[in-house]
Each structure stands twice: as structure tokens, then as C-alpha cells.
Amino acid sequence: MEAKFSANAKDVMSKRGLKEADIADVVNTAEASNRKLFKDGVNLAKKRIGEVTMYAVYDNNGEVQTAYSHRMVLGEPVKTTDEPDLSDWTCKHCNERAVIGSANMSYLGVTRTGPAIVCPKCSDVWIEEYLATMTIAAAEGLFEKKKA
């Protein structure tokens, strides 16, 4: 599948400093390995490239709708006592409905938890766009911007 980019996606990616080649790599790797989430004709894939985890949201024709990234390193999902809510996403690899869970995320020596989409079977973890671009970006920004 060849990744294509809508004008909107290009705009968002340029604002977030993401390269088309990297996001195409995310899509290709997910399609080749079947490691992705899907719902209603939309796919969510991720790949760690260098120091960054990149995400692509794309349709079944490979058209990328949005892309985002974070530098935090995702760790293990954290078990909660409550029964987790189901998410809208399904893990393609396990064909299992993913849940809204919580996972460890580490950055520059600090590990704390944050909400994540978790496959209960293979324990793979995904960060949704709102979190990556809001809380996680703010935390990363704290470490980086305050260097000045």
C-alpha cells in the first residue's frame, strides 16, 4: 500500500515537523506486519523511528488523515482493578477489541502513567492523538523548552 497525503495531513505534519517518508514508513511497516488498530475503515499505526514514536491515521486506500508523534518511550500497560472500558479500536494482529487502559511512559529518566489504548491479548499500547499532542507534548516541552 502506498501512503498518500491529503492537503490537511500535509499541513498538520509540517506544523508538527513530521516527514512524509517517515509516516509512509509507519504505514508500510504496519501493513506488512499487520500490527495496527482499525475501526470503521480507519487504521492507526505506530513505529519508533530514531528517538520518536510516530503515528499515522489512514484509510484503507492508504490516504493519511493525520499524523503525530511523541518522544516518550512506551512501557508496559498498567493493570487496573476496574474492568476497563472497551475502545472503538480492534487490534488487527489479535483480532481483539482494544480497551481504554493505562500504560507506563518514560521520558528522560522519569516514568509515570498515562491513558492508552491497549490490546488485552498482545498488550501492545497506542497513544491517541489528543494525548500525544496535549499532555505528552506539554510534558516533553517542559523538559525541552525549559533548557533555555
Partner 1 sequence: MSELIGETESLCPECLKVIPAKKIAENDNVYLEKTCPEHGHYKVLIWRGVDDYKRLSSYAPVPSKPEKVAVKKDNIVCPLDCGLCEEHRQHTCLVVLEVTSDCNLKCPICFASANERYHYNPSLDEIRKMYQTALDNVGHPICIQLSGGEPTIRDDLPEIVRMGKSMGIDFIEVNTNGYRFANDIEYLRQVKEAGVDSLYFSFDGLTDDVYMKTCGRNMLDFKLKAIENCREVDMGVTLVTIVSPDINLHQIGDLIKFAKKNIPTVKGIHFQPLSYFGRFPIIPKDENRTVLPDLLKEIQRQTKGELTVDNFIPTSCTNVHCDVKSMSVLMEDGSLFPLTHRAMGPPKDTCCVATKTRQEISDLWRYIDEGMESGGGGEGTWDEFLQRARTNYLTISSMPFQDVWNVETERLRGCCIHTVTPDGRLIPFCLFNINSVHGKTLYRHEIFEKYATKG
Binding site for partner 1 (CB under 8 A): 102, 105, 108, 110, 112-115, 130-131, 134-139, 141-148
Nearest to 48 by CA among 58, 38, 35, 59: 35
Q: Judged by CB, which is closer to partner 1: 30, or 57?
A: 57
Calpha distance 70→68 (Å, rounded): 7
Q: Judged by CB, which is closer to partner 1: 23, or 105?
A: 105
Residue 23 neighbours by CB under 8 Å, 6+ apart: 3, 5, 13, 54, 56, 64, 67
Question: Shortest Cβ distance from residue 3 to partner 1 (Å)?
Answer: 28
Q: Judged by CB, which is closer to partner 1: 33, or 141?
A: 141
Question: Shortest Cβ distance from residue 78 to partner 1 (Å)?
Answer: 9
Calpha distance 84→44 (Å, rounded): 20
Question: Shortest Cβ distance from residue 134 to partner 1 (Å)?
Answer: 4
Question: Shortest Cβ distance from residue 133 to partner 1 (Å)?
Answer: 9
Q: Judged by CB, which is closer to partner 1: 2, or 88?
A: 88
Calpha distance 54→46 (Å, rounded): 5
